[in-house]
Amino acid sequence: MTALSVAHHFSTEPHGWHTSFACTGPATSTRAASAPKGTKGAKKVTEASDKWYGAGIPGQGKKRVPLATDKEAAWRMLGDLVRAAERGEAKMLDRAAKAKSLKEHLADFEGELSAGVHVSTGRKRRTAPSAKQIQQSVQRVRDVLDGCNFRWMDDLKSGTAADRLARYLRERLKKPRNATDRGLGELIPDHMESLLFDRSHPSEPDPWLDHARVPGAVFEPRPEDRPEAVDASDRAVRDGLADDRPERFHGLELRGTRGEEVEDNVEPGVEPGG
């Protein structure tokens, strides 16, 4: 319902509930008596309100919004609320929102999270975020704003916003925050003596390790993984001199003070050897 059509439904009645109108009032209200509900002889008291109310505002449903005691002022307030709601539904920014920087919007967002404004949705109530979760969420948004040089709302609508965000994400992936984020691939050069080969294919490096190859890494099989050693192991099994062929696996020979950390980051199916 637009502001123009709202004018045709503007209530001129002095009192009573008019939920079907866009602007109603002055409305009546029911005030509970001092006696508990169900008390014998107790009666409801209805009083007339001097304030006008607006209803049918886009996005508000049947909610009645208090306006003003003056009818003309209430009408102007209703028009402002309708226009603001329609701009919001059309994803248009109002002047107040555009005048604020993104850092100010972020501060408002942090305040709403801390106050639990976004916790409940309808009848479903969610667990309020902890102070640490709020801090992490706000910091991540702040990192994006600073990394992409987003300062104002118009920056988010610019044609280069997507490219700046993609560039920021690429750079972020190249700069891990800690050893766990670096992963096994970047820890290999500092804690590697040799990379093992699959014994069934001694001339080829492990495909996963080859994928994680880094400049300066030396791919060299252990003595027992060399082709002649593998062939000797096969002959021993065939001639009955050994119970079974040695177990085949991929792994790393690690050394250094960070060896345990690397071992914890080994992907499933890759066992550390030694």
DSSP string, 152-210: SHHHHHSTTHHHHHHHHHHHHHHS-SSHHHHHHHHHTTTSEEEE-B-TTSTTSB-HHHH
Question: Are both 9 and 85 inside the same structural domain?
Answer: yes
CA neighbor of 164 nearest in space, from 146, 179, 182, 141? 146
Of 125, 147, 174, the domain-final residue: 174
Residue 273 lies in a domain: no
Residue 269 lies in a domain: no
The range of the structural domain enclosing residue 50 comes to 3-30+37-92
Q: Which amino acid is at 106?
A: L
Q: How confident is the model at residue 156 (pLDDT cuts 50, 70, 90)?
A: confident
Of 117, 148, 174, the domain-final residue: 174
Question: Are both 50 and 81 inside the same structural domain?
Answer: yes
What is the number of other CB atoms lying within 10 angstroms of the CB of residue 197? 23
Distance from CA of residue 81 to its chain's centroid? 30
Residue 274 lies in a domain: no
Spatial neighbors of 16 by CB under 8 A, at least 6 apart, are: 27, 28
Question: Are both 83 and 10 inside the same structural domain?
Answer: yes
Q: How confident is the model at residue 63 (pLDDT cuts 50, 70, 90)?
A: confident
Question: Are both 239 and 258 inside the same structural domain?
Answer: yes
Residue 26 lies in a domain: yes
pLDDT digits (tens, 9 = 90+) for 42-56: 887 777 778 888 887
Q: Which residues pair with 253 in a beta bridge?
A: 194
Residue 145 lies in a domain: yes
Of 148, 174, 200, the domain-final residue: 174
Is the pLDDT higher at 69 or at 269? 69
Q: How confident is the model at residue 28 (pLDDT cuts 50, 70, 90)?
A: very low
Question: Are both 122 and 199 inside the same structural domain?
Answer: no
d(CA 59, CA 86): 9
d(CA 156, CA 152): 7
Structure token digits, residue 259: 């060896």
161-174 vs 131-147: helix crossing angle, rounded to 10: 110
pLDDT digits (tens, 9 = 90+) for 244-265: 444 443 444 433 434 444 444 4
Residue 56 lies in a domain: yes
Residues 65/21, Cβ–Cβ less than 8 Å = no
Number of domains in the chain: 3
Q: Lowest mean pLDDT: which of 41-50, 64-73, 144-153?
A: 41-50
Dmax (CA) for the chain in angstroms is: 108
Residue 123 lies in a domain: yes
Residue 251 lies in a domain: yes
Question: Are both 78 and 46 inside the same structural domain?
Answer: yes
Taken as a whole, the chain contains a residue count of 274
Is the pLDDT at 154 greater than 50? The verdict is yes
Question: Are both 184 and 258 inside the same structural domain?
Answer: yes
Write down the pLDDT at residue 188.
Answer: 39
Q: Kindly tell me the burial class for residue 57, based on how many C-beta atoms sit within 10 Å of its own C-beta (0-12, 13-18, 19 or more).
A: buried
pLDDT digits (tens, 9 = 90+) for 194-222: 333 333 444 444 444 444 444 454 445 55
Is the pLDDT higher at 159 or at 18? 159
Question: Are both 105 and 78 inside the same structural domain?
Answer: no
Q: Lowest mean pLDDT: which of 32-46, 47-61, 148-162, 201-215?
A: 201-215
